[in-house]
Structure 1
Amino acid sequence: MILYIIVLLFTIFQTSVRGNTVLVTLYALDLNASPIYLGIIVASTSLFPMLFAGYAGRLSDRLGYRSLFISGTIGTGFSLLLPYFFREQLYILVLSQALFGLFQIFTIVTVQNLIGALGTQKTRSHHFAVFSLGVSISNFLGPLITGFSIDHLNYTQTYMLLGILSIIPGILIACNVIDIPKPPKDTTAEEKKNFKDLIFNRSLRKTFITSGIILTGVGMFEFYFPIYAKSIDLSASLIGIIISCNAIAYIISRLLMQPLTNRFKEEAILSKCLLISSIGFLLIPLFENPYFLMITAFIMGLGLGCCQPLSIVMAYNASPQGRTGEVLGIRLTVNKAVQFLVPIVLSPLGGIFGFAPVFWSNTLLFLFSGLSLSERKTLSKTKILKSK
């Protein structure tokens, strides 16, 4: 029961997070931000997570989950309220996004660590599938609510709405609606190494690299698609609906994740998902019709939907006992480094070369990664047959 309550509370929080992803881009464009300034605003969201995600993971291992969850959600809500109180100021968006990223990362690492701790080796995939399903629902609700709120209210009132949504879960946890367990103790504390040992661990390194590639695509779509949609004169509501179609595909693929993991290995599933997602990135700049864009976003979501939860499961299972939060934090450090660089690099490139080369570069990256995973699987099978 506690699993489903935690997932529900995180879904409420994540709805505000996903709404902010759409809102900050559209609001900055409405304030006539230049491409470079827009890239800085979006990248500032990932600055502190890139620097402190590993530290946040260590804190969740040492201090437990409750206090970090409360401070993370309330701090995130406060950062989202800043543009409501200080209106039509681009520098406030930079400050708001930087604080948003800092507090958000404590919540995300803590909840991922808690979800893993609630399960066992056998049930952990199921727990993260439930968790990812909640995230997918928030991915659907966030852009949808934000798009309609912008069109029927305005940008600043939408910030107030998202800020309140973020604070609600923290208040409920502070009121002790559930009894959150303590993290497992590190039984190898006397042998503990520094974080470099985790980075150079072969299984973990492979997971970190794969996760970074996945987040390159996710970050590309989250940041660049609203800009592309705005350039072809789609309304905020339509943009929200198209992004929500992507989220619906996430929900479907994550409902299928458990049956897939029961039959196939993680690498096999990841390789196919990356190849499917590459088709979506190939098609996006070819269409301006919103219905075709909905279909394209849906195809992409089918591929990306299983990728993120699988990378979390792989990272958690490969973690030393008592250092799961630290490993998940390092994973997020890699992810946030990608999300930090993508807007800064893509903003000027998009202005110079247009939209198509930017999306198609991600097509090539996903194709290469998916084929590499497939080739690795084939080589491992060949070695097994030869050994027999």
Structure 2
Amino acid sequence: MRSATAKVNSAPRESGPTAELARLITAQVFLHASMAGMRLAAPLLALRSGYSEAAVGVLLALFALTQVFLALPAGSYADRHGLRRPFAWATAAATLGCALAVAFPVFPVLCLAALLTGGATGAASIALQRHVGRAAEGATQLRQVFSWLAIGPAFSNFLGPFAAGVAIDSGGFRVAFLLMAVLPIASWAWVRAAREMPPPPTPHGERPRPAWDLLRETHFRRLLLVNWLLASCWDVHTFVVPVLGHERGLSASVIGTILGAFAVAAVVIRVLLPVIAARVREWAVITAAMLATALLFCVYPLLHSALAMGLCSVLLGVALGSVQPMIMSTLHQITPEHRHGQAVGLRLMAINASSVAMPMLFGVAGAAVGIAGVFWAVAAIVAGGTRMSWRLREADQSR
């Protein structure tokens, strides 16, 4: 499948984000920070209200659950209406969810707020990624803009919980929920003046097709499987490292530092990627990331000191942090322009479904074969998947 733009090899190079891209990244940060803040405040209020850890687990799952079911309709809607209208609906839903928590801070309403803010963030990210991908000119600029765009969620994952925590300590949970309700409104202020792209041309005589039809294309199917494998590795690290650290007798602060080092490394590599984008190919970066991840997962269970685990975590952050911009760049090049929204939605649905299901699978597997066995099993699967990432170069050669 070839993108309708076909502007792949003659892209202008840019050293930093344009003014409009910077505004869109800022909008993404505010909206995503609202969800991230709610993801801290809502479970904390539930625990303080006497709800069990199981109930809190269900509450946290709801933030991702809506995105599983909403991703495909949101992608089709973005294909029809562009950026501003989907983003406006998303900000309204996120604001409503947070406002309901302000008015009725009880568990059922917190669950509804989780559904609304999670779904809003997913729908907005689909519209935003589609818009940014269509605005880019050529493969080099695609890699650059998606590298810049990937920094936003990483920063908002710090900003949202930090702001919510300070608000809770200063004025209570209602103040925190009110602050989270203001953030989506600020987000819309950055998007409302964005330049809307003209609708892409639809091939003459082609009827609307469901997003699932994209899976019939070999390159897209490979890309989605590779993305799922690497996203699962991210979930493995987040879920298993606290368990492994507990087995090693590490303190909570040390375990948090190890996970924090992973996140910082992922941000740093995404800051550097726009600089080197003109010198790398997507399939090469993805294949290298998969090989490095498989090797590091083999080594991780053998490490006992906090320093060694921290170093391994940093290297994993570099490997996995480099993947998303390359995945998004490839996706926009191998799918028709008038179906970019569907493609982005299908990818988001797969990732969120994995985030809901995989931690439960890892827990069962860990009880059966041990934490080291989980690492080694995932390493073997990822190593086997490198053949698919290597064959993505066929898509690169065909463009």
**Pair in the same fold by TM > 0.5:** yes
Question: 1:6: which partner in 2?
Answer: 24
Which one-letter code corresponds to 1:45 in the other structure? F
1:245 equivalent to 2:261? Answer yes
Question: 1:190: which partner in 2?
Answer: 205
1:75 pairs with one of 87, 90, 93: 93
Question: 2:14: which partner in 1?
Answer: none
1:324 equivalent to 2:340? Answer yes
Question: 1:137: which partner in 2?
Answer: 155
TM-score of the superposed pair, with normalisation by structure 2? 0.76
For residues 268 and 108 of structure 1, do their structure 2 counterparts lie closer, same or farther at Cα, with a shift above 3 Å needed? same
CA deviation map 1:293-339 (0-9, x unaligned): 65443222111111111111111111112111111111112212212
Paired with 1:34 and 1:162, the residues of 2 have a C-alpha distance of 24
Which one-letter code corresponds to 2:207 in the other structure? K
Paired with 2:54 and 2:364, the residues of 1 have a C-alpha distance of 6
Paired with 1:39 and 1:17, the residues of 2 have a C-alpha distance of 16
Question: 1:46: which partner in 2?
Answer: 64
Deviation of 1:65 after TM superposition, in Å, equals: 1.0
Deviation of 1:187 after TM superposition, in Å, equals: 2.8
Question: 2:76: which partner in 1?
Answer: 58
For residues 353 and 16 of structure 1, do their structure 2 counterparts lie closer, same or farther at Cα, with a shift above 3 Å needed? farther
For residues 114 and 149 of structure 1, do their structure 2 counterparts lie closer, same or farther at Cα, with a shift above 3 Å needed? same
For residues 48 and 217 of structure 1, do their structure 2 counterparts lie closer, same or farther at Cα, with a shift above 3 Å needed? same
Question: 1:335: which partner in 2?
Answer: 351
Tell me which moved more, 40-49 or 74-83: 74-83
CA deviation map 1:246-296 (0-9, x unaligned): 33212221233245543343222112223333426853795584x666544
Which one-letter code corresponds to 1:58 in the other structure? S
For residues 353 and 280 of structure 1, do their structure 2 counterparts lie closer, same or farther at Cα, with a shift above 3 Å needed? closer
Tell me which moved more, 121-130 or 312-321: 121-130
- Could you say what secondary structure the match of 1:13 adopts? helix
| Aligned residue pair count | 372
Contact 1:45 1:100 in 2 (8 A): yes
Paired with 1:138 and 1:30, the residues of 2 have a C-alpha distance of 25
For residues 229 and 145 of structure 1, do their structure 2 counterparts lie closer, same or farther at Cα, with a shift above 3 Å needed? farther
Question: 2:286: which partner in 1?
Answer: 270
For residues 142 and 280 of structure 1, do their structure 2 counterparts lie closer, same or farther at Cα, with a shift above 3 Å needed? farther
Q: Structure 1 unaligned runs (5+)?
A: none
Deviation of 1:73 after TM superposition, in Å, equals: 2.6
Share of identical aligned residues, percent?
A: 23
Contact 1:186 1:322 in 2 (8 A): yes
**What aligned pairs does 1:101-140 form with structure 2 within 5 A after superposition?**
101-122=118-139, 123-140=141-158
TM-score of the superposed pair, with normalisation by structure 1? 0.78
Paired with 1:159 and 1:361, the residues of 2 have a C-alpha distance of 41
Paired with 2:46 and 2:257, the residues of 1 have a C-alpha distance of 20
Contact 1:65 1:183 in 2 (8 A): no
Deviation of 1:163 after TM superposition, in Å, equals: 3.9
Paired with 2:299 and 2:38, the residues of 1 have a C-alpha distance of 26
Q: Structure 2 unaligned runs (5+)?
A: 1-18
